[in-house]
Amino acid sequence: MAASKVKQDMPPPGGYGPIDYRRNLPRRGLSGYSMFGIGVGLMVFGYWRLFRWNRERRRLHIEELEARIALLPLLQAEQDRRTLRMLRENLEEEAVIMKDVPGWKVGENVFHTDRWVSPLTEELYNLRPREEMLRKKFGFLCKEEAVAMETELLRDYRFGRQQLTEMLGHACATAIAKVFPLSSLEKRQPTVLVVCGPDQNGCVGLACARHLRLFEYIPTVFTPKRSSDALHQDLMLQCERMDLPFLSYLPTEVQLINDAYNLVVDAVLGPETDLESVGEPFTGVLQTLRGLKAPIVSLDIPSGWDADESSSDGISPALLVSLMTPKRCALSFPGSHFLAGRFLPYDIQRKYELNLPKFSGTDCVVQL
Amino acid sequence: MNHSSNEKEPETIEPLRYLSKTEVATVETELLRDYRFGQQQLIEIWGHACAIAITKAFPLSSLSKKQPTLLVVCGPEQNGSIGLVCARHLRMFEYEPTIFYPKRSPQSLHQDFTVQCEKMDIPFLSYLPTEVQLLNDAYNLVIDAILGPETDLKEVKEPYAGMLVTLKQVKIPIVSVDVPSGWDVDEPAKDGINPEVLISLTAPKKCATGFSGKHFLAGRFLPYDIQKKYELNLPEFPGTECVIEL
């Protein structure tokens, strides 16, 4: 082998310098103790602020309570005056009624003691229309008040029937879309059967059907009886022009309805109908609805129920959508209960002492 | 790779159609006559949809002043009634609208809407201050419902001309209902008022093609027949909303 003149990589003359192979764990930043201390310090600061704010909240709460206490004599005085006035009126009425009864002492104390006994609600409202007593006891709207409120809206507040029907129909459709969204319907097509009576309840049902069509449901309308109401006829025409099919008769075979439709909207009878005057074809329709398995959505009150009392043998809907205010029959309603229609002027709410719940955001329906 | 023969072609999205003045009038007459919609019904639907659009564009939390005050300027005809209904719904949505309604319409329909607003405790101004700074300080935004697509621009006279001049100078945002007042329906105007938000009712008008601010389409009630007949190609509304941003 000849000596090669290849340049070879050799260590520098004198060898490599010393190599520092010690561990390099630079001590930088805060130490663990100080970080812990900072955390604890922040927490302590937070707690101090929290305790201060809680004390302030307690002071505010006490202020509210004191305001109520300050008002209490005034409110109690008004209530007392009202009670005494009603007792006086009852007394005078009693004198008139019982004037021919021998040996009757008007205003005689029914108790054996002399002390003041607060009168019961039944006693105070004894001679007044039943609605006032019911309103005092329960606060929900009874039939006469619902009718009175609607007349007032139409007359004094100059709302038009078209307006009210449109708003209520839209709100009902929104409630139905909330409770039975398109994705939750089991059948392939989102079919809905809407049964509309001839009165105002039916008009709201027709407006609701039209809006459901716009929300991509496939409603079918059934009107058992032709209506003479011009608004009803206009709404029916609008529904026809929206390509909603109209049934000419309701099959009495309940299974057919169960198979064809996902749910049934009941807009047959409203709170203004007189239950004694309900004849054919409604009784047949109600009979069929009673036997249905598909969920029923009732508008305002379940058809066939009395507006003031809950019924045990009427139809039993899965969802009740009350229009404007809940009616008395909804007190013991077991299913979902929505309130639709967010347009009542504050004056009417105050006058009828409605205490409606708050609607969230821009919704026009709220679940009760 | 096999493409199956019955693979669905993607649907071509037709462009949204903008209406001219005559078409707007025809659509409305047809709705009233053939479809038997009532005027009250239509105005209620439009006012409600406008109010929802305004809550979307200017939510309560985004208003800069302490009180959520708004000024609603209403003209005499249908556009003004829509403004009144919109103000009523905004009151229910917890805003505080104030209405300026200089010339009351003699029609009983519009008077009904006025009574409804009065009974909702919405204050009515008796005159519009010409001092623009007062308006800027008192209100968060102005809703312009003065003139609609049905008005003839040559007939615009006092007090509307003065109001339009004042509105041109305000700094707070303006929301126009259907057509910015003073603009011709068919062409965008150069020297008219300059709204920040435009809410088109039912279908957008031709003058909105050059509009640069936020554009909403409000009113989800048109029967499908009319939409097909006039080839409106309205966009899909999400869920149960009645307002969509274009």
HEC assignment per residue over chain A: CCCCCCCCCCCCCCCCCCCCCCCCCCCCCCCHHHHHHHHHHHHHHHHHHHHHHHHHHHHHHHHHHHHHHHHHHHHHHHHHHHHHHHHHHHHHHHHHHCCCCCCCCCCCCCCCCCCCCCCCHHHHCCCCCHHHHHHHHHCCECHHHHHHHHHHHHHCCCCCHHHHHHHHHHHHHHHHHHHCCHHHCCCCCCEEEEEECCCHHHHHHHHHHHHHHHCCCEEEEECCCCCCCHHHHHHHHHHHHCCCCEECCCCCCHHHHHHHCCEEEEECCCCCCCHHHCCCCHHHHHHHHHCCCCCEEEECCCCCCCCCCCCCCCCCCCEEEEECCCEHHHHHCCCEEEEECCCCCHHHHHHCCCCCCCCCCCCCEEEC
Out of A198-212, A335-349, B217-231, give the one with best mean pLDDT.
A198-212
C-alpha dihedral sign at A194, A199, A201, A207? positive
Instruction: Count CB neighbours of A240 within 10 A.
Output: 15
Task: Write out the residues of chain A at the interface with chain B, using a CB-CB cutoff of 8 A.
Answer: 156-160, 162-163, 165-167, 170, 173-174, 177-178, 210-211, 214-215, 231, 233-234, 237-238, 241-243, 342-343, 345-347, 359, 361-362
Q: Name residue A297's beta-bridge partners.
A: A265, A319
**Top-level CATH class of B21-245?**
alpha beta
β-strand B174-177 against B141-145: which pairing, if any?
parallel
The more confidently predicted of residues A50 and A88 is: A50
Question: Hey, are the CB atoms on A158 and B116 less than 8 Å from each other?
Answer: yes
- CA–CA separation, B229 and B224 (whole Å): 9
Select, from the ranges A152-166, B76-90, B221-235, the one with the highest average predicted confidence (pLDDT): B76-90
CB A281 within 8 Å of CB A212: no
Q: Output the CA–CA distances (angstroms, integers) from residue A242 to A212, A236, A268, B224, in the order listed.
A: 11, 10, 21, 6
The reply to whether A156 and A295 lie within a common domain is yes
Chain B CB contacts of A190 under 8 Å are none
**Residues A122, A163 within the same domain:** no
The residue among A42 and B142 whose pLDDT is bigger is A42
The residues, ordered by sequence, that sit 6+ positions from A345 with a Cβ below 8 Å of its Cβ are: A157, B116, B119, B120
Using the beta-carbon criterion (under 8 Å), do A167 and B44 form an inter-chain contact? yes
Residue A309 pLDDT level (bands cut at 50, 70, 90): low
B40 contact residues in A (CB cutoff 8 A): 160, 162-163
Are A218 and A329 in the same domain? yes
Phi, psi of B141 (to 5 degrees): -155, 165
Query: Which of A329, A319, A286, A323 is CA-nearest to residue A195?
Result: A286
Mark whether A176 and A254 lie in a shared domain. Answer: yes
- Torsion angles phi and psi, residue B177, rounded to 5: -95, 120
Residue spans per domain, chain B: 21-245
Same domain for A189 and A70, yes or no, is no
Backbone region of residue B137 per phi and psi (left: phi > 0; alpha: psi in -120 to 50; beta: other values)? alpha
- Say if residues A267 and A195 touch (Cβ distance below 8 Å): yes
Rounded to a whole number, what is the distance in Å from the CA of A306 to chain B's nearest CA?
30
> Which pLDDT value is given to residue A63?
94
Same-domain pairing of A93 and A219? no
Q: What is the pLDDT of residue B74?
A: 86
Cis previous bond, B159, omega within 30: yes
Range from A314-323, A354-363, B11-20, B90-99 carrying the lowest mean pLDDT: B11-20
| Most A CBs within 10 Å, among B30, B32, B41, to test the A interface | B41
Tell me: do A226 and A298 sit in the same domain.
yes
| Domain span holding position A64 | 40-98+118-128
A108 occurs within a structural domain: no
**A106 is a domain residue:** no
Chain A nearest-CA residue for B227:
A242
**Taking CB atoms and an 8 Å limit, are B121 and A157 in contact across chains?**
no
Q: Domains in chain A: how many in total?
A: 2
Residue A103, Cβ density class (10 Å: 0-12 exposed, 13-18 middle, ≥19 buried)? exposed
User: Measured between alpha carbons, how far is B32 from A250 in angstroms, rounded to an integer?
Assistant: 31
d(CA B49, CA B39): 15
A50 has a pLDDT exceeding 90: yes
Does A362 sit within 8 Å of B221, measured CB to CB? no
**Minimum-distance CB partner of A166 among B36, B44, B121:** B44
**CA–CA separation, A267 vs A198, rounded Å?**
9
Shared-domain flag, residues A77 and A202:
no
Confidence class of residue A65 from pLDDT cuts 50, 70 and 90?
very high
**Which positions ≥6 away from A192 have C-beta within 8 Å?**
A176, A209, A212, A217, A218, A219, A220, A261, A262, A263, A264, A265
Treating both helix axes as pointing N-terminal to C-terminal, what angle do A230-241 and A161-179 enclose, rounded to 10 degrees? Answer: 50
pLDDT of residue A264: 87
Beta-carbon separation of A345 and B239 below 8 A: no
Residues of B with CB under 8 A from a CB of A: 34-38, 40-41, 44-45, 48, 51-52, 55, 88-89, 92-93, 109, 111-113, 115-116, 119-121, 220-221, 223-225, 237, 239-240
Looking at the fold, whether A179 and A288 belong to one and the same domain comes out as yes
Min Cα separation A32/chain B (Å): 43
Q: Three-class SS of residue B24?
A: helix
Per-residue confidence at B6, pLDDT binned at 50, 70, 90?
Answer: very low
Model confidence pLDDT, tens digit, residues A227-283: 788 888 888 888 888 888 888 777 778 888 888 888 888 888 877 776 666 667 777
| Token pair of B6 as six digits | 């019955």
> pLDDT at position A176, please?
87
CATH of the domain at A280: 3.40.50.10260
CB contact under 8 A, A162 and B44: yes
A16 lies in some domain: no
- Residue A24, in any domain of the structure: no
- Residues of chain A contacting residue B120, judged by C-beta atoms under 8 Å apart: 345-346
Which pLDDT tens digit goes with each residue over B98-147? Answer: 888 888 778 888 888 888 888 888 888 888 777 888 888 888 888 888 87
Residue A32 counted as domain residue: no
Residues A123 and A144 in one domain: no
How many Cβ contacts (< 8 angstroms) between chains A and B?
80
Q: In this complex, do A173 and B240 lie within 8 Å of one another by their Cβ atoms?
A: yes
Q: What's the predicted TM-score (pTM) here? A: 0.68
Q: Which residue has the higher pLDDT, A101 or A368?
A: A101
Nearest CA in chain A to B237: A215
Query: Which chain A residues are within 8 Å of B220, Cβ to Cβ?
Result: 214
Closest approach of A323 to chain B, Cα-based (Å) = 16
Tokens 């300050």 correspond to A70
Q: Which chain B residue has its CA at the smallest distance from A346's CA?
A: B120
Residue A307 lies in a domain: yes
> CB distance B92–A343 less than 8 Å?
yes
Q: Determine the residue type at A70.
A: A
Cβ contact B119–A234 (<8 Å):
no
Residue A305 lies in a domain: yes
Does A300 score more than 90 pLDDT? no
Q: Is residue A83 part of a domain?
A: yes
